[in-house]
Amino acid sequence: MKTPDWTDLNAYVDGELRPDAAAEIAARIAADPAVAAQVATLARLKAATAAALSPASAEVPEIRLGRGVRGPGWRRHGARAAAAAVLLVVALGLGQWLWPRPDAVQAWLQQATERHAQWLAAERDPAPIAPPAIRPADAPDGPSWIPDLALARLAVAHVAATKSNGRPELYVGYVGVNGCRLGLWIGPAPARLAASLAEHRDGDVTSFTWRAGDIGYAVMARGMDEARLRAVAAYLETATRQSLDESGETEVARRPAAAADAPCIG
Amino acid sequence: MTGRVELEFQKCMARLYGYALSLTGDRELSQDLLQDCAVRVLSAKTAPSEAAALRAWFFRILRNLWIDGFRRSRLEPAPDEPAPPAQENWRFDEQMIDVITVRHGIGRLPPAYRDVIALVDLVGFPYAEVADILGVPIGTVMSRLSRARQALLTVIGETNVHPLRAKQGP
């Protein structure tokens, strides 16, 4: 009977050997104290390693896996976002805008990136909107489609609802823990805006656009890791589609006009 | 993506975070890695239907994220297949093997060794799953793991970190 090598002993401790090979090593353990000692050491090491690498439950970061801000979560983004979103979605639901020209996608995206640039220029050190200051006055069950990016460690720092030619648009600025800034533009989709995720580059600004129903979305950032931005965009695309699938926007569009008049706070 | 994926991801989060810690050795980086992994998982159009494959998929995504971004930009990993430590005159004082000494020793191992040890000992994947996640043959997993454990024992044996002896009696 040959002495089992170190690799075989490891496989034995891990239960990875075929039955005949395992039986051979078991016999060797019974006959050779040196082999038995090695196996005992490996077993002890394996158990200690599992314990050493297991993080304490309190240490595991909390990650919310919800796809959008719903119910209580909506309150964190506050009345400004609530009022702006309600206003936007109600207006979108009315369908009172003109369809843009076929070549309007680039112009639409340019408008979005310019809005993003304005925010970057205006707020050199944006801070997340403090929850106590933005508690909604009248939006207990607000629309669910303003995405919560806490998952990607991005917090809402800026919300602005605007109108262009009578068409409502919404810009949401997010700030990351390391200062990176990401903009989300929501507005009536131009006619040729692709439904699937499309990447655009303009200088050092990278953008991703998509369409969910009649609403167009653009997410953009300057100098952000592209893979990270793409992942966030893909997440947003999924979240906005699911929101649409659940008829969230349609439902919100039918809310009483009073809800759309909720005042902006802060 | 279904609630099944989210539920399974929640179940795996502690081990995913532990795996991230073993890869990065840094809590902040590990939190970022876990967050990015969650985003990637939830934004995927499809996911494996079988539970074991789904769990392996989570870990593969986290590892690929580390390779794609964090490792390239922030870490200086050792070569993928470090030279095996010497085996001659192998002896070991088992009393040295303790959670504290092992944790200290793992932190001093090359990333490739920490990677395979974490997947087998922390996550509990069989060798075949580990081979799939790492993209190497099973034989490579076996040899890398055995070298990793011997390297760990060597580090523990050389360390000046010692487990405290339990008190005997009152």
pLDDT tens sequence across A198-234: 888 888 889 999 988 888 899 999 888 888 888 888 8
Output the CA–CA distances (angstroms, integers) from residue B125 to A46, A74, B14, B96, B148, in the order listed: 13, 39, 15, 26, 16
Instruction: Please give the pLDDT value at position A43.
Output: 92
C-alpha span between A137 and B105 (Å, rounded): 55
pLDDT bracket for residue A114 (50, 70, 90): confident
Q: Are B92 and B149 in contact (CB under 8 A)?
A: no
Residue A69 has pLDDT above 50, yes or no: no
Q: Which of B16, B39, B68, B95 is the mutation pick for testing A, counting most A CBs within 10 A?
A: B39
Chain A CB contacts of B43 below 8 Å: 231, 234-235, 237-238
Percent residues over pLDDT 70 in chain A: 64
User: Can you tell me the mean pLDDT for A108-115?
Assistant: 86
B148–chain A nearest CA distance, Å: 11
pLDDT, greater one: A150 or B148: B148
Q: Are residues A52 and A81 in the same domain?
A: no
| A-contacting residues in B 29-48 (Cβ below 8 Å) | 31-32, 34-36, 38-40, 42-43
A49 and B17 within 8 Å at the Cβ level: the answer is no
Backbone φ and ψ of A173, nearest 5°: -100, 130
Q: Which positions ≥6 away from A54 have C-beta within 8 Å?
A: B14, B15, B18, B122
* A151 closest CB neighbour out of B35, B103, B143: B35
Q: Are residues A229 and A156 in the same domain?
A: yes
Tokens coding B160 = 């000046």
DSSP string across A85-134: HHHHHHHHHHT-SPPPPTTHHHHHHHHHHHHHHHHHHH-SS--PPPGGGG
Q: Are residues A159 and A222 in the same domain?
A: yes
Percent residues over pLDDT 90 in chain B: 35
Instruction: Please give the pLDDT value at position B1.
Output: 53
pLDDT, greater one: A64 or B80: A64
Instruction: Please give the pLDDT value at position B69.
Output: 74
The per-residue pLDDT of chain A, averaged, comes to 70
Q: Are residues A79 and A11 in the same domain?
A: no
Question: Number of residue pairs across A and B with CB atoms under 8 Å?
Answer: 125
Query: CA torsion B132→B138→B143→B145, rounded to 10°?
Result: 40
Which residue type, as a one-letter code, is found at position A129? I
Residue A266 domain-assigned (yes or no): no
Residue A42 domain boundaries: 6-58
Q: Are residues A20 and A114 in the same domain?
A: no
Domain ranges in chain B with CATH number 1.10.1740: 3-74
Q: Are residues A151 and A214 in the same domain?
A: yes
CATH architecture of B94-158: Orthogonal Bundle (1.10)
C-alpha span between A42 and A128 (Å, rounded): 50
C-alpha span between A182 and A189 (Å, rounded): 20
pLDDT bracket for residue A165 (50, 70, 90): low
Residue A64 domain-assigned (yes or no): no
Q: Which CATH class is domain B3-74?
A: mainly alpha
Q: Are residues A48 and A129 in the same domain?
A: no
Q: Picking from A131-135, B39-43, B151-155, which range would have the lowest pLDDT averaged per residue?
A: A131-135
Q: Are residues A135 and A207 in the same domain?
A: yes
